[in-house]
Amino acid sequence: MAVFVFVLLWVTLSSILCFFLLRASRCRRLRLPPGNLGLPFIGETLQLISAYKTENPEPFIDERVNRFGPIFTTHIFGEPTVFSADPETNRFILQNEGKLFDCSYPASISNLLGRHSLLLMKGGLHKRMHSLTMSFANSSIIRDHLLVDIDRLIRLNLDSWTGRVLLMEEAKKITFELAVKQLMSFDPGKWTESLRKEYVLVIEGFFTVALPLFSGTYRRAINARTKVAEELSFIVRQRRKESDAGERKNDMLEALLAGDDGFSDEQIVDFLLALLVAGYETTSTIMTLAVKFLTETPLALAQLKEEHEQIRAKKSENEPLEWSDYKSMPFTQCVVNETLRVANIIGGIFRRATTDIHIKGYTIPKGWKVFASFRAVHLDQDHFKDARSFNPWRWQGNSGATSAGNVFTPFGGGPRLCPGYELARVELSVFLHHLVTRLSWAPAEEDKLVFFPTTRTRKRYPINVQQRRNGSSL
Ligand code: HEM
């Protein structure tokens, strides 16, 4: 028995060794981007994680860019990975999605999203569904249909805030309620809140090992996903019945039910589930960080308040914002851009090379991962003057960047350009409008940013809030 185990172990180890030697010899023949693969198996994962768990993760990329240039090789999360801090290469990666690169998510995220989610779709179906999603959240739909609910639900939430508030939690509640309304026409209530609680568990599972036996968080996430899918399936069945009876609603679910593709319930549920995830964390984090950055930059906050007081002065107290109001918020758009640039909620995107790719004198081998880092470009002094400070005025009357070309890509680009980019901007602008005209606030405690596993503040940004209509301010 001992001999058998020894032989088995020897065969396994030698095949692993052969695999790596073969791959190394092929890699030697290719001109890989320079870099460091770090320790066997774990590579440089620990250095990356420890940098991104601090308020200043920049040294991880800065040090490598200084040594190797803006395209370098590293080894993270179990795989050799080519990092790009170069805007031209990033654009090339984004534009060639589906041709030279495929999107690539860890197993935990793919399993929890479901295979019919837009984020995992490929080919012709992805193209059709991406444009359907874009058409659901384009400017004219927002103007004619979604804005009124965005205004109402944000106002409703902000009016209920008093005393100490965890801004990140409250912002998440807002963006979830908005997404449920936009996708399925449900107003907030007990059902949306209990669905959101399950969602929180699903999202916690994204950054775990996808092995239920080893990770309790992943197990909980899978169970929560099952519950969310059951709830959504029930809604889909109800709506099919209503639709068959000739009842029509103006939302995403209707578009999916009425489409020519004849989607099954399972497909629709996966699709909705992922859309709810995509807009929820991102937009609520950007809301929270905009408030944090503004609080730390009083001159910007004062200018923002002035812009919104002027809009409010032309309206009665609870009169909703209209599209023309949204279009007359130039400084707010500077704040939105600058928050997106500095916060980098999606710091970059992972892709996998589907063939050997020759770029800038290097080869990215087929099957390798690449990471197009938006963060590295957004915080690069060569592209943005004084890049590491929050300065909304840089966007006044120009593109914000000091270098040519499109170097500002907070919403990605190419075939997977974020379909919610306009919706997120509108939601954030309306949120800032009601926040600065209805409330005053001050940080309740010091709170710090971290960037791993996601961008957020450690304490969910606690603030003390007062309603301004009571005549008092903090
Ligand atoms: C500040 C808020 C947001 C940011 C920074 C953001 C950023 C991004 C980025 C960078 C991507 C590209 C991912 C890739 O290329 O792999 C993306 C994709 C996506 N976003 Fe957003 N997003 C935001 C809000 C929203 C909202 C409100 C929605 C709701 C409609 C949304 C829905 C999506 C979807 C469905 C995708 C996947 C597109 C695809 O794979 O074809 N996002 N987002």
**Ligand 1: does its nearest atom lie under 6 Å from the Cβ of 130?**
yes
Mean pLDDT throughout 234-249? 92
Over 60: is that where the pLDDT of 266 sits?
yes
Q: Which amino acid is at 14?
A: S
Which pLDDT score, from 0 to 100, does residue 48 have? 93
Q: Is the CB of 346 under 6 A from ligand 1?
A: yes
pLDDT of 23 strictly over 60: no
Q: How far is the CA of 284 from the centre of ligand 1 (A)?
A: 13
Q: pLDDT, tens digit, for every residue of 321-338?
A: 999 999 999 999 999 999
Task: Tell how far the Cα of 111 is from the centroid of ligand 1, in angstroms.
Answer: 19
CA of 420 to the centre of ligand 1 (A): 6
Structure-token pair, residue 49: 């994680």
Distance 115 CA to ligand 1 centre (A): 17
pLDDT at 453: 87
Question: What is the average pLDDT across 297-320?
Answer: 96
End-to-end CA separation in angstroms for the chain: 76
pLDDT of residue 17: 45
Ligand 1 atom at minimum distance from 374 CA: 10
Please determine, for residue 306, whether its predicted confidence score (pLDDT) is greater than 70.
Answer: yes
Question: Do residues 221 and 201 touch, judged by C-beta distance below 8 A?
Answer: yes
Please report, for the chain, the start and end positions of each structural domain, with discontinuous segments joined by +: 116-344+415-474
Mean pLDDT of the 178-207 span: 94
Per-residue pLDDT of 110-165, as tens digits, reads 999 999 999 999 999 999 999 999 999 999 999 999 999 999 999 999 999 999 99
Which residue out of 253, 411, 418, 428 has the highest number of ligand 1 atoms within 8 Å of its CB and is therefore the one to mutate? Answer: 418
String of b and e for 285-310 (b: at least 16 CB within 10 Å)? bbbbbbbbbbeebeebbebbbebbee
- Report whether pLDDT(470) > 80: no
Which listed CATH number (3.20.20.140, 1.10.630.10, 3.30.1330.60, 3.90.1310.10) goes with 116-344+415-474?
1.10.630.10
* Confidence at residue 28, expressed as pLDDT on a 0 to 100 scale: 60
pLDDT surpassing 50 at residue 11: no
**Which SS3 state, helix, strand or coil, does residue 357 take?**
strand
User: 76 to each of 32, 39, 221, 317, 365, how far by Cα in Å?
Assistant: 16, 10, 24, 53, 16
* Residue 349 CB–ligand 1 contact under 6 Å: yes
| Percentage, residues of the chain above pLDDT 70 | 93
Q: Please tell me the predicted confidence (pLDDT) of residue 274.
A: 93
- Spell out the residues 6+ positions from residue 164 whose beta carbon is closer than 8 angstroms to its own: 444, 462, 463, 464, 465
Taking the centre of ligand 1 as the mean of its atom positions, its distance from the CA of residue 412, in whole angstroms, is 8
- What pLDDT is attached to residue 397? 83
